[in-house]
């Protein structure tokens, strides 16, 4: 009887709160905020992304144009989520934040290679001033909100890329378009993707391997999903790795499409067009893979997939094919 009385009081209190004007206002604000989070959530992974006309420079680099297009899309059209304070609905889209940080990371790595290697004379050639600027701007903390914000810095990086492309078109800048340079660049991209595969591996440890490791006295490693009480269908913790990897693969896919145009004659002279297309296809498969909820089941499970393991397959296949193209270019 006491239990029934308590339940009755709780129900009365609930309906009193819900029925009050203040409660309605609070619930309304919460509902609107949740709607805005849903409305602002956006993952731009169009594999057919076209170059923004305002960045197209006749006689310039296609890769530079695509990098500028991609960063401008995320910063100024989609909206940059990683640096938004909590009052912005977009700040609560953790998948979107991880995806954009993955894009920024890949663009920064490419800009580093352009500044230090591809966009200068071999040997003692001086680094290009605009590429140095782009390299520095894109390497800024993606979460920086206080002035100068990351958005400001990245927009300045885009401007530096455009300026470099104009100078390149007028013969005032360098772009090393020989097969050995392309081979070296691809090897560095492969190493970066390989390091990301290690992050995926840390989340996908099959139980059989965990037992073998523990039997030899080493550190016991278990699938991350094993630590979730009551199940592992929706494992939120690998989501950041999944979307960061997705963003990185999408950025490399977009930029390498442009690189393919820049080095079109070199690739054709080595008879590597088919290998190049296969490489892009694998990157595209990984970059466009999308799941709203990331399931982190045991690899080989009949009922619960391991989405991050599937993504890892596309990542490693692309990595292998990048090295194949690099090997052909280096011959």
pLDDT score for 207: 46
Distance CA 132, CA 299 (A): 44
Per DSSP, the chain holds a count of helices (H) and strands (E) of 12, 0
Q: What integer pLDDT is reported at residue 142 of this predicted model?
A: 95
Percentage of residues in the chain having pLDDT higher than 70: 75
Peptide bond just before 112 cis, omega within 30 deg: no
**Reduced to 3 DSSP states, what percent helix, strand and coil does the chain have, rounded to the nearest 5?**
70, 0, 30
Tens-place pLDDT, residues 226-247? 433 333 555 556 888 999 999 9
**How confident is the model over 170-205, as pLDDT tens digits?**
999 999 999 999 999 999 999 999 888 888 887 775
The CA R_g of the chain, rounded to the nearest whole Å, is 24
Distance in angstroms (rounded) separating the CA atoms of residues 31 and 36:
9
Query: Is 263 within 8 Å of 182 (Cβ atoms)?
Result: yes
Compute the distance between CA of residue 251 and CA of residue 203 in angstroms, rounded to an integer: 23
């Amino acid at each position: 009887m006491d239990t029934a009385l308590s339940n009755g009081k709780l129900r009365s209190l609930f309906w009193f709160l819900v029925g009050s004007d203040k409660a309605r206002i609070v619930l309304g604000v919460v509902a609107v905020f949740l709607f805005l989070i849903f409305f602002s959530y956006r993952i731009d992974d169009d594999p057919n992304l076209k170059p923004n006309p305002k960045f197209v420079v006749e006689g310039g680099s296609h890769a530079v144009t695509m990098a500028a297009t991609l960063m401008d899309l995320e910063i100024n059209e989609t909206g940059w989520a990683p640096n938004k304070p909590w009052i912005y609905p977009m700040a609560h889209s953790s998948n979107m934040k991880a995806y954009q940080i993955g894009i920024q990371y890949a663009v920064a790595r490419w800009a580093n290679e352009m500044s230090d290697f591809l966009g200068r004379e071999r040997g003692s050639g001086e680094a290009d001033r605009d590429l140095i600027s782009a390299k520095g701007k894109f390497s800024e903390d993606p979460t920086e909100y206080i002035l100068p914000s990351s958005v400001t810095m990245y927009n300045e990086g885009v401007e530096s890329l455009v300026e470099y492309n104009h100078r390149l078109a007028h013969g005032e800048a360098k772009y090393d378009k020989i097969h050995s340079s392309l081979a070296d660049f691809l090897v560095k991209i492969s190493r970066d993707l390989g390091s990301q595969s290690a992050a995926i591996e840390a989340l996908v440890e099959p139980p059989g391997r965990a037992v073998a490791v523990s039997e030899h006295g080493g550190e016991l490693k278990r699938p991350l999903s094993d630590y979730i009480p009551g199940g592992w269908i929706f494992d939120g913790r690998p989501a950041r790795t999944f979307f960061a990897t997705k963003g990185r693969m999408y950025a490399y896919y977009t930029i390498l499409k442009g690189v393919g145009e820049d080095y079109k004659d070199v690739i054709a002279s080595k008879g590597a067009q088919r290998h190049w297309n296969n490489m892009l296809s694998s990157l595209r498969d990984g970059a466009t893979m999308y799941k709203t909820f990331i399931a982190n089941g045991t690899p080989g499970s009949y009922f619960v997939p391991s989405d991050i393991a599937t993504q890892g397959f596309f990542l490693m296949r692309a990595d292998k094919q990048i090295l194949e193209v690099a090997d052909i270019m280096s011959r």
